[in-house]
Structure 1
């Protein structure tokens, strides 16, 4: 160990310990660093391991995208460090001129003495001339790049075997890796995440070659990155990362298909959480109440439709001041009543209902004058009262409508419409839970949630990136109103700067219907997790999967999947989802993990 390294470690330890006084004591245990370190000629011995470092001194003449990928995917422990230093354009031009002069002089001297031509020197001269022309036109820049490797092993014998394998790998890449003899400590510190190049073995790179050497470049997926990139996971076949931005695609929609238990809801929650970091507003239709904990932790809004004490008034007017706001709300109430009755309304009955809706608004003091729209909106009971008045005046259709609406006004289904709206659908995350809704009222509650989401998406006074997540979409596909909403949102969401994320475990519902196929066709991001053998052939035909991709989806673990990054699905990336411990606690739905804190709190019985 060098004296300078020891002094720097001691100085850092003293700074962490704070100022000295008479009561403070600084011992060896308070100084950061290894407990023991032995520097040999070519190796550094650390507690429990030994390592050897190499500097790359020779490179191939031409490289392709992701040419460092074999080093990054080495199965053993191999640290790869790439140090980049930009060269000022003036200095780069001067060095290139001197290099061209040396090469030209050597070529002429060989020709004068009658020697054979040095083809390597001629190739270097051509490359230098091409690079000089590129710099002169401003098409690129010059960089000094150092590439260093550190191999780790438990024992010296294991290290020797690992070194042989790494040197064979670098030779296959046409890289010349030389050991850092008598500079083993400097080689080890150079590959640490300190940003310090102690070996200073550099090579000149242009912009194109340096971009190809970027460690995160992936030859199997060309990411489209904008302002809202999201980490999907790690590449299943390499150490690279899979980063994707749905808002940088042609449209912002996605479809996620997987069998039950494959991790589709887990993956969707991770993407939702990471999009919230980017300032994207998210609305979720949650049939199973799986997003409650996520909404509470991030300060979102959770609306449990059907839960005791939760009311949602369909007569509420949106905050916009369009002249047809009242008319559009009256039309929606008619659609809602048709859903309550379970059948389309006859023309005469629709006319009676329209007059009753306008009369209910008028009784609450709300007219076509926008200044009256801030008054408290009427309730469903007020509409029933207007229908009763029309029935007393001799309108038979009004009496029939009032009688059929009785379960929602005074009967078993009145809870959702019994009073004014208790929770406004506002905030950066809004979750509509449908779990507590009975099957008889689920279409009605679903229509209320979809209408609230559509009003936010189409608000002309509040344009921003939005994502609408429809989890377990097969439950919506069974309902005509839900299927029409998905189709409408998939077609027009891009116009309103919004994206639709459809998540389903029943691929047959999407692939067997025209609406489902339209949703897939309008999704630029397609995510396939583990599939069941019964539907893999249908999935393979719809998404043009190869035999290898079919085998991967049949054997994929939880959270592993295939990202098809374009509308045509030509760019593919197999990935494994990753999450931090805190993200995992918010996203998991494993009953065993959710029950563990409760058992711990209860204590031994």
Structure 2
């Protein structure tokens, strides 16, 4: 660059970094010591002033460029003399890459036009192309030596060199980016890859927030499909049967909770099978299961238990296990587990002896044991999910049971994730997490799972359209804080203030989320943020779309299930 504008704004060179082609930008900065700066400014002022006087003595019109340069030189000299700034020699060089000579000519013309719009005068390094190329390599060598004097303010306006693209894990590596393709960068038209299982990540959790229709499930299904290519084992809690067609395409396991014969027994102890075939369990498995049952009953009843109720429930749980032959002796833990009806009977028996809290709990458990909501608890567990993709559908569950269904599924998945005999990357997806977050006990369980997932090489992905349930409570904010990857899609005006405070959004990011199109979002990972547009191939779009009009056009029948609660996917033995 041989010509620069007189006035610039902060970050004015950023447009060079957002150029959609391959362009290397090199800025060489060399400080000038104070004595040399003062001497050169004095000589420059003398030349400019003598030129002005010579022009005035001969009655000629003054040159506006000389007048402006003289004013700037006086201002700069006074600031340097007062110690308010320093001088630097700055060289700016660009290297343009292309696949052929013709395309290179087009790229050069485009870059020179961009420079002209910034009032930069770009010239070819004629006969010095090698020196120019070396000067733009990350070597710190300036073989061109074509410098322009900048003061501190002018140099600061060129920094920071912020790029809209996410930094590569190893900037010196020429390898393909790792992770999952989310889409293309809205700012630079580059591709956005992100690996939430990366080595430098504090945890592998993520959270996806957006209003209804913003494209949350579409984006997550794309991410899951591309994660399967990388060998990640995935489990999904699906409230609306949106993942059935994806599971069918990849030969996944699909379980319909609420269908006849599909049950999850919360009394099952976490027995794990080791690599040598032996069945083991943690030494405190019975205690932990008893504590988990307190959470189950709280979510089931939709209210926090009083102290008397918790005491009665704790005693009834212990009696229920003892009556089933399960004690502190680990050899008894492989015996058949009791069920919810056994707990209700123990509470009812305690109520007959005068314990009013136990009698009240027994009465409140009646709908889930003998009433309309018993299908999920009226027997031992009938589901042992296995496979590279496991989807639990909650659509057939009544609204009153969706929260407890989510909790029981998370518990079953956590047993699989925490099995030390099997170590692999796992991702647990909770769609519409507000179903569980609105219950304090459920939110506490989700938070404990978010904190412990990293130790088992697992990530928890939370998706919700109701930001208030996630951001209005301390537990919800803690869940967000334990997510190293955060994705924000279009937000409603009523929720944008809360989202802005929680994620510390700038004014530009706030405006972007209010006007983002479907599929556009903001990927936040630590200090890095990038705006992206999700993209999918036609085949991927067919598998992940949930548009009723498109599904009707496809004649979709993939979510038809039989009475067993399992979908026959037609991909081998795994169903």
Q: Are the counterparts in 2 of residues 447 and 481 from structure 1 also a CA contact under 8 Å?
A: no
Relative distance call for 1:167 and 1:272 in structure 2 (3 A) is closer
Looking at both structures, which has the greater relative contact order when contacts are Cα pairs under 8 Å and sequence separation is at least 6? Answer: 2
Shift of 1:232: 1.2
Relative distance call for 1:398 and 1:207 in structure 2 (3 A) is farther
Partner of 1:595: 552
Shift of 1:203: 9.1
Alpha-carbon distance in 1 for matches of 2:451, 2:266: 25
Relative distance call for 1:210 and 1:232 in structure 2 (3 A) is farther
2:372 to 412, 417, 427: 412
Relative distance call for 1:514 and 1:463 in structure 2 (3 A) is same
Q: Secondary structure at the match of 2:490?
A: coil
Q: Are the counterparts in 2 of residues 564 and 573 from structure 1 also a CA contact under 8 Å?
A: yes
Q: Secondary structure at the match of 1:221?
A: coil
Q: Are the counterparts in 1 of residues 222 and 536 from structure 2 also a CA contact under 8 Å?
A: yes
Q: Secondary structure at the match of 1:431?
A: strand
Q: Are the counterparts in 2 of residues 66 and 218 from structure 1 also a CA contact under 8 Å?
A: no
Shift of 1:265: 1.4
Alpha-carbon distance in 2 for matches of 1:71, 1:398: 69
Partner of 1:383: 343
Partner of 1:482: 442
Deviates more, 1:420-429 or 1:232-241: 420-429
Tell me whether 1:291 sits opposite 2:248 in the alignment: no
Partner of 1:317: 269
1:583 to 528, 531, 540: 540
Shift of 1:147: 4.8
RMSD of aligned C-alpha atoms? 4.1
Relative distance call for 1:521 and 1:336 in structure 2 (3 A) is closer
Partner of 2:427: 467
Alpha-carbon distance in 1 for matches of 2:470, 2:420: 31
Q: How is 1:36-47 mapped onto 2 (pairs within 5 angstroms)?
A: none
Q: How is 1:169-248 mapped onto 2 (pairs within 5 angstroms)?
A: 209=137, 219-223=163-167, 225=169, 229-248=179-198
Q: Secondary structure at the match of 1:283?
A: strand
1:271-291 deviation per Cα after TM superposition (whole angstroms, max 9, x unaligned): 222222223233333332322
Alpha-carbon distance in 2 for matches of 1:446, 1:374: 25
Relative distance call for 1:170 and 1:377 in structure 2 (3 A) is same
Alpha-carbon distance in 2 for matches of 1:495, 1:591: 40
Partner of 2:463: 503
Under a length normalisation based on structure 1, what TM-score does the superposition of the two structures give? 0.61
Shift of 1:417: 0.8
Partner of 1:121: none
Q: Secondary structure at the match of 1:250?
A: coil
Alpha-carbon distance in 2 for matches of 1:548, 1:476: 32
2:396 to 436, 451, 455: 436
Alpha-carbon distance in 2 for matches of 1:472, 1:223: 31
Structure 2: segments with no counterpart, 5+ residues: 1-12, 25-95, 116-120, 141-160, 171-176, 273-280, 559-575
Q: Secondary structure at the match of 1:445?
A: helix
Relative distance call for 1:327 and 1:535 in structure 2 (3 A) is closer
Q: How is 1:98-497 mapped onto 2 (pairs within 5 angstroms)?
A: 147-149=98-100, 165-166=109-110, 168=112, 209=137, 219-223=163-167, 225=169, 229-248=179-198, 249-320=201-272, 321-345=281-305, 349-387=309-347, 399-497=359-457
Shift of 1:329: 1.8
> Number of residue pairs matched?
433
Q: Are the counterparts in 1 of residues 178 and 193 from structure 2 also a CA contact under 8 Å?
A: no
1:451-492 deviation per Cα after TM superposition (whole angstroms, max 9, x unaligned): 223434444444443333222233333222232233333444
Alpha-carbon distance in 2 for matches of 1:530, 1:359: 51
Under a length normalisation based on structure 2, what TM-score does the superposition of the two structures give? 0.64
Structure 1: segments with no counterpart, 5+ residues: 1-63, 75-79, 81-144, 153-158, 179-200
Alpha-carbon distance in 2 for matches of 1:177, 1:307: 76
